[in-house]
Structure 1
């Protein structure tokens, strides 16, 4: 069986799409990254996908960049006949989009939402109790196949639908199946986390320039150091403190730098960044 079985098929046609498998609503940065990953890993072909954008002037250029995927501004027509729908719109317009597409969503359709702070209960209420719902929270390293995605399934979602969704997101990185109650924290740690890491990367590179390194070399050294350190933590499973201690020799260079990090409050600043971001995610959910 080919890898394209990760997405259910339908024998019908809609919007000129034969055997349409997937509709992505809101093909902005994240939606485009995900669709490119699915296409590149052979989970579906360009002819089996449709995508939507908010502004019509983007349709032609986006379609060309995605190898001919049909792109329009019509969300309702795009989901019609698609067994799997992935929603990647901004949280502020989520309710409007759900109301627009609900009449075209049939029982048994799998709807995957990557929209922050939109609960399974809200999605189920808007789309109906017979629609399978999964919340997914990926991050932008999906662009290079290194995403971290969390999945939380609704009550009507089958094991097969959850597994097919897992396969979709495994094409762009790692996947964890979680309880929905953790989603705000996951939004803060892994979805917003790349922004925090890039600040650290930028700071390390700037420091390299300050001590005499060419900027390009400093950036490469800093990026590879972060990448290698992450790989070491993932592959060994060792606690970060143990890995840190392995680098830190008595009366050596590293301990001097660690003391400065403690003086600057790096540890508590990063903790507070995640805590504040999680609180904002919860606030957005309440306002929604």
Structure 2
């Protein structure tokens, strides 16, 4: 049992409240998973300044100042760094893939939590409400956020096993459930050159979707292919900087609810995570149908 939350804002007047609203949603899902938690925030100008590549790393043994100096030297251009709890957030006036390559060269053992434009991914072990406070999530702004509270079943309680899994540029996947055939799919992906950071079944789904998107498929096609390939029980939320999509397995035994207004689209494992959203009393609210991909784009 885990908790999923996601919020896609349509009304720019709400952008300053993204973190506040997302933190409330995450906290309501704490009793569905208090082992660890994570968020992906799209559009916060403090964490990921517009026009700059952003890379989020875990398990880096260095101060922000030392990390910035080392990666700046490797990259050949100035790099800014800040520590948000245990996540090192690097930004530079270059594309994220180039920045990521330089950061990996300096910190080869680091765990890449996420990378891209306009995205910040924070993950940690502990109670979700405590983590949200340490991140100062309520002060974040932006147009989209995704969160997850984890009750570990498939792998150890570590930052590498926490969601979101953000393995492609600006991409993010969170998962409630269990893939039963992930080991075989992992072997196939590894044979094709895909690297894995954990033994978590969710990472297999994230790497699969990332490979589909890299091959030129859109998110709806990628998720339909996932439904045809993966066995098990799951509710998934997949996002990039411009889209937000939800799908459930053929039996749809893992809970999910979607709410939509003119100002926002939101989903969560349970309605109580949506109850504080502005205008929710006037929202269209429904339970997603099995194997139907629901997608929204900026």
TM value normalised by structure 1: 0.29
Task: Specify which structure has the bigger relative contact order, considering alpha-carbon pairs within 8 angstroms and separated by 6 or more residues.
Answer: 2
Higher-Rg member (1/2): 1
TM value normalised by structure 2: 0.28
